């Protein structure tokens, strides 16, 4: 008689669902980025970008942000979460923690994901060389090209990777969901703050989110396959 191990069956289903979800996010992210990049190259996002930017400014005063003063301060604080300095500190601390736990594969995933994301971001900026919004709209300083948003892309890469790793080691489903949702929320807030502060066009941020999510999931899938192949483990 054939015996069915339902626990193993459910475990396999969950693993396949995770892989399928990662593939879907990667595909949607890559497709979204390519679509946005094409529109930006052809000038198709100009009206949309301009309307979003002006909607976040007091009418006739491009230097004056809408909203109360505390919101301005909060936006500056949040946007710092996507800076190279803060993300580097987060990566170093997370890497040290994973190394101390001898989780070398996870530590390598984080390092490769972040390093590769930075190289991709800088390469795309040099490729497109898009100008940022006028200085009159900028509430904070910004350097290099505008497309895609490095803050949006790198925050997506780093925080999504950390969120997925945290979800893997959580026992309860609610904790897994919280880890991933928190990572997505932080990434979204960082990107929104860049538009609000006038240092990026909305399409820059959309492209950054798309590319960041695609790269993070590509790294996760690569790590999943390598670990399954070389360490004979079914779960990463």
Does the pLDDT at position 232 exceed 80?
A: no
Q: What is the pLDDT of residues 22-62, one digit of tens each?
A: 788 888 999 999 999 999 999 899 999 999 999 999 888 88
For the stretch 121-128, contacts whose Cβ atoms lie closer than 8 Å and that sit 24 or more positions apart, written own/partner, are: 121/148, 121/150, 121/153, 121/154, 121/208, 121/211, 122/150, 124/148, 124/211, 125/150, 128/37, 128/40, 128/41
Residue position matching structure tokens 């996010």: 25
Q: In which residue are the tokens 């929320």 written?
A: 185
Kindly report, residue by residue over 128-142, the tens digit of the pLDDT.
Answer: 999 999 998 988 888
| Sequential DSSP letters for the chain | -----HHHHHHHHHHHHHHHHHHHHHHHHHHHHHHHHHHHHTTTTHHHHHHHHHHTEETTEEEEESS-HHHHHHHHHHHGGGSHHHHHHHHHHHHHHHHHTT-HHHHHHHHHHHHHHHHHHHHHHHHH-PPPSPGGG-SS---S--SS-HHHHHHHHHHHHHHHHHHHH-SSHHHHHHHHHHHHHHHHHHHHHHHHTTSS-HHHHHHHHHHHHHHHHHHHHHHHHHHHHHS--S--
Confidence of residue 14 (pLDDT cuts 50, 70, 90): low
Is position 2 within any domain? no
Return the higher-pLDDT residue of 9 and 199.
199
Any domain includes 4? no
* pLDDT value of residue 12: 44
**Torsions phi, psi for 63 (to 5 deg):** -85, -10
Average pLDDT over residues 58-82: 92
Query: Is 6 inside any structural domain?
Result: no
Residue 5 in any domain: the answer is no
pTM: 0.85
Q: Is residue 8 part of a domain?
A: no
How many domains, in total, are found in the chain? 1
Whether residue 236 is contained in a domain is answered as no
Residue 195: inside a domain: yes
Which residue segment(s) compose the domain that 30 sits in?
13-230
pLDDT value, residue 97:
92
């Amino acid at each position: 008689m054939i015996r069915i191990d339902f626990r193993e069956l459910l475990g396999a289903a969950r693993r396949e669902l995770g892989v399928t979800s990662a593939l879907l996010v990667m595909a949607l992210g890559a497709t979204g980025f390519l679509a946005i990049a094409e529109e930006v190259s052809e000038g198709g996002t100009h009206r949309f970008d301009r309307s979003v930017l002006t909607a976040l400014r007091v009418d006739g005063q491009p230097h004056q942000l809408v909203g109360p003063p505390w919101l301005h301060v909060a936006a500056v604080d949040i946007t710092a979460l996507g800076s190279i300095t803060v993300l580097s500190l987060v990566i170093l601390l997370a890497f040290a923690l994973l190394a101390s736990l001898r989780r070398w594969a996870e530590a390598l995933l984080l390092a490769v994901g972040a390093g590769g994301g930075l190289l991709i971001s800088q390469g795309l900026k040099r490729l497109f060389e898009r100008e940022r919004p006028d200085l009159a709209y900028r509430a904070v300083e910004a350097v290099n090209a505008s497309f895609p948003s490095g803050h949006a892309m790198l925050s997506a890469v780093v925080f999504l990777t950390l969120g997925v790793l945290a979800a893997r080691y959580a026992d309860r489903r609610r904790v897994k969901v919280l880890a991933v949702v928190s990572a997505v929320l932080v990434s979204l807030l960082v990107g929104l703050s860049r538009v609000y502060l006038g240092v990026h066009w909305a399409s820059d941020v959309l492209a950054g989110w798309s590319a960041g999510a695609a790269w993070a999931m590509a790294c996760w899938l690569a790590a999943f396959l390598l670990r399954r192949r070389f360490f004979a483990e079914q779960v990463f």
